[in-house]
């Protein structure tokens, strides 16, 4: 059975030593009084909740899955899920970073980010139930009417009710312009909604009495395609004017998907038959409104893989120290044993360090993104808000796709460390691989993230946002360029920054002549930019660690950080050269292939 220890030291290192979060947030009135001790205390308690309450349910959730009662359309979650959720609500965890106006605690988003990393390590399937509520909360807070906020937000904030996002239909996944669910005005400000949604995570369950569905649908006179989509809030139980639960609404679960992983999370087919809902935001502007939820969810999905990368690493490391097989090529290391622990073998170390580097780089990126998001929302200076928003937009597809692809590589590497025992269910490693697989697919597949990054975030503004990130890289290079000890971390970042500028111009030029060139290069491009971002963050982490070591600090944490950074730059970062080469081979070898794909 896998175990899990919350990586509190690394979180504190990134939050306090690398990003100096308390000082950075001082100008934001909401966080002017936040201090290091409060942050550390919340992280510690959150870690306890994850490791003691939800982690022991991870295996049970995988084995039992969810069950649908075909007569009542109610869904039972695995044994213990409901009780754990009640404890979560009782502990006030759903309200951690929500707005105090709606009952939230108003604490920095970074706490929610780290709490969710730990919850995902412990049990991704369980974590999705409360996780989706945050997206519904964000969409209603940004686009809801005062009445919708009054009726729904306090209950979502307290966790008394949960939320979902209902986009997908049988014939429409990536291309939401194809969706058919209908919304007809009832004349009293509400709408009758009819249609079928599939693959709805946490779409039905027994953990909370009411579920608040955010549903995309079309009004009768809506234009075709994605410009004719509106967003509606459709509760499972209608809500009375005083906020209490009313009669059952016309939305029910008609089936549950049988799937590869996240068995403990109910993936529901939802049928809307004369369901009643209210419009969120403007008519036909549902997609931009839903994007608030989707962006939150994209960061959340990257965080799911970060959690799985960390827990897979921890368990593979413990196994590699314990399992003895063969002798080290350079002579026995554990002479009192009949063979050496497998951790002596270079390739086993490579697999372990790959997962460790992807966990630590991912954590730094996720926390960095949350800090920017905080500034986007709460900083008093409009310019800082705008610049932070631009960087968050640039980094969101990277968090979603780079972290989930890395999660795939890392969980597979950790399974491999277990050899055949990794393939056997009782060790839990295969569950990490299976659970992670969906993260590369939902919330817009990783291909869609790559197209969003290269097409919308980079090329559409001629690289202006990318240049802003480039300035941060240049600043670091200037700061540390003369420090010989930093050369091994700074030089590769400076070199790639330079290469990426040329690479972007080249793709932009080719794409101008043939738009398919962008599609042919996008996934490679995202990984190259992902590594530039990781490289920048690893260089910043190495900078802090090196200063501590030079000042005589003997805490092995700093040596470990430097060793991981060295491994990252030597063994993972260089894949950028291959990726740029493959992207440069162009789209012809992909499209002139009708005979090969006949």
Ligand X SMILES: Cc1cc2nc3c(=O)[nH]c(=O)nc-3n(C[C@H](O)[C@H](O)[C@H](O)COP(=O)(O)OP(=O)(O)OC[C@H]3O[C@@H](n4cnc5c(N)ncnc54)[C@H](O)[C@@H]3O)c2cc1C
- Of 172 and 324, nearer to ligand X (C-beta) is 172
- Using the rule CB under 6 A, give the single segment among 159-167, 245-253, 405-413, 423-431 that binds ligand X: 159-167
**DSSP one-letter code for 33:** T
Contact mark string toward ligand X, 170..199, x via CB under 6 A: ---xx------------------------x
Q: Tell me if 293 contacts ligand X by CB under 6 A.
A: no
Q: Rounded distance, CA 459 to CA 372, Å?
A: 22
Q: Tell me if 129 contacts ligand X by CB under 6 A.
A: no
Burial track 354-372 (b if 16+ CB lie within 10 A, e otherwise): bbbbbbbbbbbbbbbbbbb
Residue positions counted in the chain: 598
- Of 55 and 181, nearer to ligand X (C-beta) is 181
Q: Tell me if 201 contacts ligand X by CB under 6 A.
A: yes
Question: How many Cα atoms are found within 13 Å in the side-chain-facing hemisphere of 231?
Answer: 28
- Using the rule CB under 6 A, give the single segment among 83-91, 445-453, 496-504, 562-570 that binds ligand X: 445-453
Q: Tell me if 445 contacts ligand X by CB under 6 A.
A: yes
- Of 81-100, binders to ligand X (CB under 6 A) are none
User: SS3 of 144, please?
Assistant: coil
Residue of 346, 534, 325, 319 whose CA lies nearest to 432: 319
CB of 175 to ligand X, least distance (A): 6
- Of 548-587, binders to ligand X (CB under 6 A) are none
Binds ligand X by CB under 6 A, chosen from 259, 327, 345, 349: 259
Number of H helices, E strands in the chain: 19, 11
587's tokens? 């789209």
| Backbone phi and psi for residue 194, each to the nearest 5 degrees, phi listed first | -135, 130
Max Cα–Cα distance, the chain, nearest Å: 83
Binds ligand X by CB under 6 A, chosen from 97, 148, 168, 412: 168
Q: Rounded distance, CA 551 to CA 50, Å?
A: 36
Binds ligand X by CB under 6 A, chosen from 4, 378, 418, 442: 442
- Using the rule CB under 6 A, give the single segment among 185-193, 436-444, 542-550, 565-573 that binds ligand X: 436-444
165, β-bridge pairs: 214
Q: Tell me if 39 contacts ligand X by CB under 6 A.
A: no
- Of 87 and 171, nearer to ligand X (C-beta) is 171
Q: Tell me if 200 contacts ligand X by CB under 6 A.
A: yes
- Of 299 and 542, nearer to ligand X (C-beta) is 299
Q: Rounded distance, CA 563 to CA 119, Å?
A: 28
- Of 214 and 342, nearer to ligand X (C-beta) is 214
Q: Any idea what the Cα angle at residue 364 is, between residues 358 and 367, rounded to 5°?
A: 130
472: left (phi over 0), alpha (psi -120 to 50) or beta: alpha
- Of 304 and 388, nearer to ligand X (C-beta) is 304
Number of residues that bind ligand X (CB under 6 A): 20
CB of 210 to ligand X, least distance (A): 17
Binds ligand X by CB under 6 A, chosen from 75, 279, 438, 546: 438
First and final CA of the chain: distance in angstroms?
47
Q: Tell me if 232 contacts ligand X by CB under 6 A.
A: no
Q: Tell me if 441 contacts ligand X by CB under 6 A.
A: yes
Residue 59 · residue 125 · CB < 8 Å: no
Binds ligand X by CB under 6 A, chosen from 166, 239, 359, 417: 166
Residue 56: other Cβ atoms inside 10 A: 15
Q: Any idea what the Cα angle at residue 298 is, between residues 292 and 301, rounded to 5°?
A: 140
- Of 438 and 458, nearer to ligand X (C-beta) is 438
Q: Tell me if 105 contacts ligand X by CB under 6 A.
A: no
Q: Rounded distance, CA 438 to CA 436, Å?
A: 6
Alpha helices in 145-274 (DSSP H): 146-158
CB of 440 to ligand X, least distance (A): 9
Q: Tell me if 231 contacts ligand X by CB under 6 A.
A: no
Binds ligand X by CB under 6 A, chosen from 34, 167, 490, 542: 167
Residues annotated as catalytic are: 443
- Of 172 and 393, nearer to ligand X (C-beta) is 172
Q: Rounded distance, CA 216 to CA 403, Å?
A: 28
Chain residue at closest Cβ approach to ligand X: 173
- Of 152 and 442, nearer to ligand X (C-beta) is 442
Q: Tell me if 267 contacts ligand X by CB under 6 A.
A: yes
Residue of 250, 241, 141, 261 whose CA lies nearest to 195: 250
Q: Rounded distance, CA 376 to CA 299, Å?
A: 15
- Using the rule CB under 6 A, give the single segment among 230-238, 305-313, 352-360, 440-448 that binds ligand X: 440-448
Residue 337 · residue 346 · CB < 8 Å: no
Residue 451 · residue 518 · CB < 8 Å: yes
CB of 235 to ligand X, least distance (A): 17
Q: Tell me if 448 contacts ligand X by CB under 6 A.
A: yes
Binding region for ligand X (CB under 6 A): 165-168, 173-174, 199-201, 259, 267, 438, 441-445, 447-448, 519
């Amino acid at each position: 059975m896998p175990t899990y220890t919350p990586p509190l030291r690394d979180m504190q290192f990134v939050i306090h030593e690398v990003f100096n979060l308390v000082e950075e947030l001082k100008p934001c009135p909401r966080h002017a009084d936040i201090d290091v001790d409060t942050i550390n205390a919340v992280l510690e308690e959150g870690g306890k909740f994850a490791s003691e309450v939800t982690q022991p349910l991870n295996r049970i959730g995988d084995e039992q899955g969810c069950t649908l009662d075909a007569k009542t359309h109610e869904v039972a979650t695995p044994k213990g899920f409901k009780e754990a959720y009640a404890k979560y609500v009782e502990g006030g965890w759903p309200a951690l970073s929500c707005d105090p106006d709606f009952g939230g605690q108003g604490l920095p988003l970074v706490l929610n980010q780290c709490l969710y990393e730990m919850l995902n390590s412990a049990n991704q399937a369980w974590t999705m139930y409360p996780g989706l509520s945050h997206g519904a909360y964000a969409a209603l807070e940004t686009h809801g009417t005062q009445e919708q906020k009054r009726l729904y937000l306090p209950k979502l904030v307290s966790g008394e009710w949960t939320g979902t996002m209902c986009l997908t239909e049988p014939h429409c996944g990536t291309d939401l312009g194809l969706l058919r669910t209908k919304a007809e005005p009832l004349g009293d400000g509400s709408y009758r909604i009819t249609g079928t949604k599939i693959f709805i995570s946490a779409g039905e369950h027994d953990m909370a009495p009411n579920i608040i569905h955010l549903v995309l649908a079309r009004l009768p006179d809506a234009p075709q395609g994605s410009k004719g989509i509106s967003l509606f809030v459709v509760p499972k139980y209608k809500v009375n004017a005083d906020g209490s639960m009313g009669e059952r609404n016309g939305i029910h679960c008609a089936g549950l998907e049988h799937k590869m992983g996240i068995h403990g999370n109910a993936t529901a087919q939802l049928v809307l038959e004369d369901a009643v809902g209210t419009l969120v935001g403007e008519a036909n502007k549902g997609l931009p409104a839903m994007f608030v939820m989707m962006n939150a969810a994209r960061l959340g999905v990257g965080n799911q893989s970060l959690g799985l990368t960390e827990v897979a690493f921890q368990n593979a490391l413990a196994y590699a120290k314990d399992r003895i097989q063969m002798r080290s090529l350079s002579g026995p290391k554990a002479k009192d044993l009949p063979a050496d622990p497998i951790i002596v073998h270079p390739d086993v170390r490579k697999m372990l360090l790959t997962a460790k580097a992807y966990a630590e780089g991912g954590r730094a990126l996720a926390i960095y993104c949350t800090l920017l998001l905080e500034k986007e929302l709460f900083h008093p200076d409009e310019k800082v808000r705008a610049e932070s928003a631009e960087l968050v937009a640039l980094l969101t597809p990277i968090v979603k796709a780079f972290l989930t692809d890395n999660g795939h590589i890392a969980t597979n590497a950790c399974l491999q460390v277990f050899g055949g025992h990794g393939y056997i269910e009782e060790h839990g490693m295969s569950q990490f691989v299976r659970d992670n697989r969906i993260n590369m697919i939902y919330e817009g597949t990783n291909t869609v993230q790559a197209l969003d990054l290269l097409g919308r975030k980079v090329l559409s503004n001629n690289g202006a946002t990318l240049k802003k990130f480039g300035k941060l890289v240049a600043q670091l290079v200037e700061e540390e360029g003369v420090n010989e000890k930093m050369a091994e971390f700074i030089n590769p970042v400076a070199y790639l920054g330079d290469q990426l500028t040329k690479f972007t111009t080249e793709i932009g030029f080719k794409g101008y002549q043939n738009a398919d060139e962008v599609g042919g290069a996008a996934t490679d491009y995202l990984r190259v930019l992902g590594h530039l971002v990781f490289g920048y963050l690893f260089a910043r982490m190495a900078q802090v660690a090196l200063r501590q070591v030079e000042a005589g600090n003997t805490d092995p944490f700093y040596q470990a950080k430097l060793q991981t950074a060295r491994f990252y730059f030597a063994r993972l970062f260089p894949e950028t050269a291959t990726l740029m080469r493959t992207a440069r081979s162009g789209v012809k070898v992909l499209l002139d292939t009708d005979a090969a794909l006949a």
